[in-house]
Structure 1
């Protein structure tokens, strides 16, 4: 909503945008922390979530240079293993065997056969 000559501001939205910018910025100022450091130390996020996938171009300043040693994975690094496709996963589950039906005996002849 506009109030007179000034436009209304969503302070929460602006604060969130500033926070995201600080968290995901790739720049010399951000240093190693701004260059996928979580992934280098701990491994992939849950379900292989990629926080840098749709990174805004304004958050990558292209001024950061990192040596190969800074881009090495840490000792606690765990790689993400994608689950198998559904068809392949179903083949890994053993088929349940149904019990063989037992015929019901009726009459006197059947009772004699059971003894």
Structure 2
């Protein structure tokens, strides 16, 4: 994983062509995606994202972080991103059976008491 390369040539470590994979909404989303790609063996780097230092003073599109990958890994990386975001599609917020707390759809355990989500128990 590399952050903010001077050029694509530096980022890829040579003359390998690179392509834009994804426009992340912020540095947090970019970091999560890059960690997942790295764990899957796909080299990725970010371009941009420094605009968060001026949050509130700049248009929202300045905060976007572009994630790039080598062109040879692009198709595989698209599949990994689709899988990453697809894991939580179709799930709804739920109520913890242990403590009755309302829990967001992305949680597999209750944030309050660590009780399991009913469909993962």
TM-score normalised by the shorter chain: which range applies?
under 0.3
TM-score with structure 1 setting the length: 0.24
| Larger CA Rg, structure 1 vs 2 | 1
Q: Report the structure, 1 or 2, having the larger strand content.
A: 2
